Structure 1
Amino acid sequence: MTVDISSTSSAPREHFGSRLGFILAAAGAAVGLGNIWGFPTQAASNGGGAFLLVYLVMIFVVAFPMLVVEMGIGRHGQANPVDSMKSVTQHPIGQHIGGLVGWIGLAVPCAVLAFYSIVGGWLICFLLGALADIVGLQQVAEWLKGFSAERNVFGTVLFYLFTVLIVQGGVKQGIEKWSTRLMPSLFVLFALLFIYIMMQQGAVEGLKHYLIPDFEKVWDRKLILAAMGQGFFSLTIGGCSMLIYGSYLSKKENLPKMAMNVTLVDTSVAFIAGLVVMPAMFVAMQKGVQIYADDGSLLSSDTLVFTVLPLMFESLGLLGLIFSVVFFLLLTIAALTSSISMLECPVALVDERFDTGRKKTSWVLGTLIALFSIYIVFNFADMFGLVAMVATQYLQPIAALLFCLFGGWVWSRASKIKELEQGCPDFQLGWFGKIWPLYVKFVCPILVMTVIWASFG
Structure 2
Amino acid sequence: MDAQAKGRSSKRDSFISKRGFILACIGSAVGMGNIWLFPTRVSAYGGATFIIPYLVFVVLIASTGIIEEMSFGRAAKGGPIAAFASVTKKRLGTGKVGAALGLVPVVTSLAMAIGYSVVVGWIFKYTFDSLTGGAASIQGAEQFAAQFGSVASGNALWQTIGMLAAIGILVFGVSKGIEKANKVMMPLFFCLFVGLAVYVATLPGSSEGYRYIFLLDPAGLADPIVWVYALGQAFFSLSIAGSGTLIYGSYLSDAEDVPNSAKYVALFDTIAAVVASLVIIPAMAFAGQQLSQGGPGLLFIYLPNLFSTMPGGALFMAVFFVAVLFGGLTSLINLFEAPIATLEEMLGMSRRTACLAIGGVGLAVGIAIQGIVSSWMDVCSVYLCPIGACLAAIMFFWLSDKEWVLEQVNKGRAKPLGSWFYPLAKYVFVGVSILVLALGSILGGIG
What's the TM-score once normalised by structure 2's chain length? 0.91
Does 1:445 pair with 2:430?
yes
Displacement of 1:444 in angstroms is 1.3
Deviation, structure 1 residue 157: 1.0
Among 421, 439, 442, the residue aligned to 1:454: 439
Shift in alpha-carbon separation, 1:425–1:95, aligned structure 2, 3 A = farther
Distance (Å, rounded) in 1 between the aligned partners of 2:435 and 2:205? 38
2:358 to 365, 369, 372: 365
Which amino acid in the other structure matches residue 341 of structure 1?
N
Aligned pairs (5 A) from 1:109-188: 109-133=109-133, 146-147=147-148, 149-188=152-191
Are 2:326 and 1:333 aligned?
Answer: yes
Shift of 1:198: 1.4
Cα 1:91–1:445 change in 2 (3 A) is: closer
Say if 2:37 and 2:294, in contact at 8 Å, map to a contact too: no
Aligned partners of 1:239, 1:311: CA distance in 2, in Å? 38
**Equivalence for 1:295:** none
Correspondence 1:276 to 2:279: yes
Q: 1:205 to 1:94 in 2, by over 3 A?
A: farther
CA distance in 1, matches of 2:144, 2:429: 47
For residues 310 and 61 of structure 2, the distance between their equivalents in structure 1, rounded to whole angstroms, comes to: 41
The CA distance in 1 between the partners of 2:93 and 2:47, in whole Å, is 48
- In the TM superposition, what is the alpha-carbon distance from 1:351 to its structure 2 partner? 1.2
Q: Structure 1 residues 300, 194: closer, same or farther in 2, change over 3 A?
A: closer
**Residue type matched to 1:396 in 2?**
C
Alignment partner of 1:107 is 2:107: yes
**Displacement of 1:24:** 0.3
Q: Does residue 344 in structure 1 map to residue 340 in structure 2?
A: no
Deviation at 1:425, TM superposition (A): 4.6
1:322-370 C-alpha deviation (Å, 9 max, x unpaired): 1101111111110101010111111111112233211221122111111
Give me the CA root mean square deviation: 2.4
Q: After alignment, is 87-96 or 14-23 more displaced? A: 87-96
2:96 corresponds in structure 1 to 96
> What is the aligned partner in structure 2 of residue 212 from structure 1?
215
Secondary structure of residue in 1 paired with 2:11: coil
Indicate which of 308, 311, 332 corresponds to 2:305: 311
- What's the counterpart of residue 445 of structure 2? none
2:224 is the alignment partner of 1:224? no
Change (3 A) 1:164 1:222: same
SS in structure 2 at match of 1:434: coil
2:410 paired with 1:411: no
Paired residues of 1:200 and 1:283 also in contact (CA < 8 A)? yes
User: Structure 1 pair 247/203, CA: closer, same or farther in 2 (3 Å)?
Assistant: same
- Identity of paired residues, percent? 31
Match of 2:248 among 208, 221, 245: 245
The equivalent of 2:419 in structure 1 is 434
What's the offset of the Cα at 1:174?
0.2
The DSSP-based 3-state class of the residue aligned with 2:378 is helix
Q: Secondary structure at the match of 2:69?
A: helix
- In structure 1, give the amino acid aligned to 2:298: L
1:239 is displaced (CA, Å) by 4.9
Q: Distance in 2 between matches of 1:348 and 1:299?
A: 37
Paired residues of 2:46 and 2:215 also in contact (CA < 8 A): no
Structure 1 pair 8–423 and aligned structure 2 pair: CA distance change class (3 A): closer
Q: Which among 399, 411, 414 is matched to residue 422 of structure 1?
A: 411
Structure 2: how far apart are the matches of 1:195 and 1:302?
25
Deviation sequence 1:71-95 (CA, Å, 0-9, x none): 1110000012200222235134563
Deviation of residue 145 (structure 1)? 10
Higher mean C-alpha deviation, range 83-92 or range 366-375? 83-92
The CA distance in 2 between the partners of 1:85 and 1:420, in whole Å, is 17
Give, in whole Å, the separation in 1 of the partners of 2:272 and 2:224: 25
Count of equivalent residues: 434
Higher mean C-alpha deviation, range 16-25 or range 149-158: 149-158
Contact 2:62 2:262 in 1 (8 A): no
Return the alpha-carbon distance in structure 2 between the equivalents of residues 144 and 103 of structure 1.
33
Other structure's SS at 1:306 match: helix
User: Where does the alignment leave 5 or more consecutive residues of structure 2 unmatched?
Assistant: 443-447
For 2:186 and 2:178, the matched residues in 1 are separated by 11
Distance in 2 between residues matched to 1:450 and 1:134, nearest whole Å: 44
| 1:65 partner amino acid | T
Superimposed CA distance per residue, residues 212-263 of structure 1 (whole angstroms, 9 cap, x where no aligned partner): 2222212210000000011000111015110000001100011111111111
The structure-2 alpha-carbon separation of the partners of 1:409 and 1:134, relative to structure 1 and needing over 3 Å to count, comes to: closer
**Partners of 1:207 and 1:26 in 2: how far apart?**
29
Q: How does 1:18-57 map to 2 (within 5 A)?
A: 18-57=17-56
The answer (yes or no) to whether the contact 1:63–1:231 under 8 Å persists in 2 is no
| 1:320 correspondence with 2:313 | yes
How far 1:134 sits from its partner (Å)?
7.5
Q: CA deviation at 1:100?
A: 2.3
Alignment of 1:78-97 (within 5 A): 78-89=77-88, 90-92=90-92, 95-97=95-97
In structure 1, the partner of 2:270 is 267
